[in-house]
Amino acid sequence: MACSSCGVGGCSTKKDGKVSGCRNNGACGTGGCNKMNVFDWLSNMELPAQQRFDVVEIRFKSGRKDFYRNTAGLDLTTGDLVVIDAGGGHHVGEITLQGELVRLQMLRKKVKNDNQLKTIYRIATEKDMEKFHESRNRENPTLFRSRQIIEELQINMKLSDVEYQADNTKATFFYSADDRVDFRELIKILAAEFKIRVEMRQISLRQEAGRLGGIGACGRELCCSTWLTDFKSVSTAAARYQNLSLNPVKLSGQCGRLKCCLNYELETYLDALVDIPKIEKPLQTEGGLAHLQKTDIFKKILWFSYDTESTWYPMTAAQATHILEQNAKGIIVPTLTTEMLTQNTQAVTEKGKNLNEADRKRNANEEQRKKIAKDMANRARGNGTQQKNPKPAPKKKTK
């Protein structure tokens, strides 16, 4: 399979042990290898050429994808580099998906299958790839020089990436800014400096982190640069429901916003919190007011302590609910003890032992039934053999 970042035969290892492609041992330094991949689970289902869907998915730099129509009826394979219509020019991209799965992706992304889709010109030739490499080599110098120009003009914006078209006639500048930016003068300077058509495209901080890539606090590649495409809003309430420390340094990702992964397990926590009582005020006991210190959501255990003590007293969610109901009726419960959870745990343990004993007996009975059935089958097989080949009775010895 070809590599969209380097335009050669992928980032695999050659026979001599050297890494081909962008030479980053599979961790592409240009952010193009295996980025935003979609597994084609319909690839083994062959369809007649007349019924094959004529729209394919093509990937460009930093995982950007779009849909194009194969009007020429080219024999395409996933991984081929093709020349496509880029509106006033042409560009080179890699085919990442084709067939019926493309139709599903278009429905998911709400892309209409109409005449607005651009077309594929041809499969990229050697000459096309030479021009493509020339345009890619211009991107880093253009990025550095453009940042200098922005600093000289004192424009409050951050330029994160530059992407040239394969025909060297147009470049897209990706930037992020907090406020509205007037870059009309900047566009004139950039067009005169690099002799190209300029397109300024504003992206969010999360999209910027996805284009640049990186390693998260979990030790894996950023979700936004590998598979995440829909950026949902994240609030500090998600951290509160999961009992996380409201430390902005730990809760923020490389984009400076709250981590998207705070939403991944939120529904599970919300389902578990249904059985956890809301502690809005201290528990009233004979020993004083007991304040909530900690909650284990999945084990459904709550820890309380008194102001005059440093000991934490655990109890189950059901016990805490019972105490709240008693307090609501004006009843003051006895002083909390560390044996409250132990008593409940013993009851659960006894119940578990009974269940384990029942399972053991059921398995033993099952094994005994299997053994009896096996013995009966062996006896039936033995009787049948004797009937087919009856052994002659032993002769009596005569003197």
CA distance 88 to 135: 16
- Look up residue 82 and give its two tokens: 């093709």
303 or 31, which is more confident? 303
Mean pLDDT of 105-130: 91
pLDDT band at 363 (very low <50, low <70, confident <90, very high): confident
For residue 69, which amino acid is it? Answer: R
Tokens standing for 304?
A: 């309380």
Both structure tokens of 173 = 């500048």
Q: Is the pTM of this model over 0.75?
A: no
pLDDT tier, 377 (very low <50, low <70, confident <90, very high otherwise): confident
Burial state string for 32-65 with b = 16 or more CB within 10 A and e = fewer than 16 = bbbbbeeebeeeeeeeeeeeebbbbbbbbbbbbb
pLDDT, position 174: 94
CA of 148: how far to CAs of 8, 171, 287, in Å?
A: 32, 17, 69
* Closest C-alpha among 221, 219, 208 to residue 257: 208
Is residue 186 over pLDDT 50?
yes
* Pick from 65-69, 273-277, 346-350, 351-355: least confident: 346-350
Contact 162, 173 (CB under 8 A): yes
What's the confidence (pLDDT) of residue 9? Answer: 40
- Containing 361, the helix (H) or strand (E) segment is helix 339-388
Q: What's residue 303's pLDDT? A: 92
323 vs 147, 163, 281, 320, 327, CA distance in Å? 64, 64, 12, 5, 6
More confident residue, 79 or 1: 79
Over residues 321-328, the mean pLDDT reads 92
CA angle 84, 88, 91 (to 5 degrees): 30
Instruction: Work out the mean pLDDT of the chain and round it to a whole number.
Output: 82
Q: Is the pLDDT of residue 399 over 80?
A: no
DSSP string, 118-179: EEEEEE--HHHHHHHHHHHHTHHHHHHHHHHHHHHHT---EEEEEEE-TTSSEEEEEEE-SS
Contacts of 86 by beta carbon, 8 Å cutoff, 6+ apart: 118, 165, 166, 167, 170
In whole angstroms, what is the distance from residue 67 CA to residue 95 CA? 10
How far, in Å, CA of 142 to CA of 129, rounded? Answer: 20
Convert the pLDDT of each residue in 34-78 to its tens digit. Answer: 566 776 766 666 666 566 788 999 999 888 889 999 988 888 888
Residue 90: φ, ψ to 5°:
-135, 160
Looking at residue 171, its pLDDT comes to 94
Contact 152, 116 (CB under 8 A): no
Task: Give the pLDDT of residue 309.
Answer: 85
The pLDDT, as a whole number, for residue 85 is 92
In angstroms, rounded to a whole number, what is the distance separating the alpha carbons of residues 182 and 131? Answer: 33
Chain centre distance of CA 333: 48
Cβ neighbourhood burial of 344 (10 Å; 0-12, 13-18, 19+): middle
Q: How many CA atoms are closer than 13 Å to the CA of 123, on its beta-carbon side?
A: 9
Q: Could you identify the residue written with the tokens 């496509």?
A: 84
- Which residues, 6+ apart, have CB-to-CB distance to 56 below 8 Å? 67, 68, 70, 76, 95, 97, 98, 102, 120
Task: Give the C-alpha distances (Å, rounded to integers) separating 199 from 55, 146, 229.
Answer: 26, 13, 23
Query: 202 forms bridges with which residues in the sheet?
Result: 175
Is a pLDDT exceeding 70 seen at residue 109?
yes
DSSP secondary structure of 19-61: B-TTSSTTS-TTS-TT-S----TTTT----TTTS--EEEEE-G
Supply 275's token pair: 């059985």
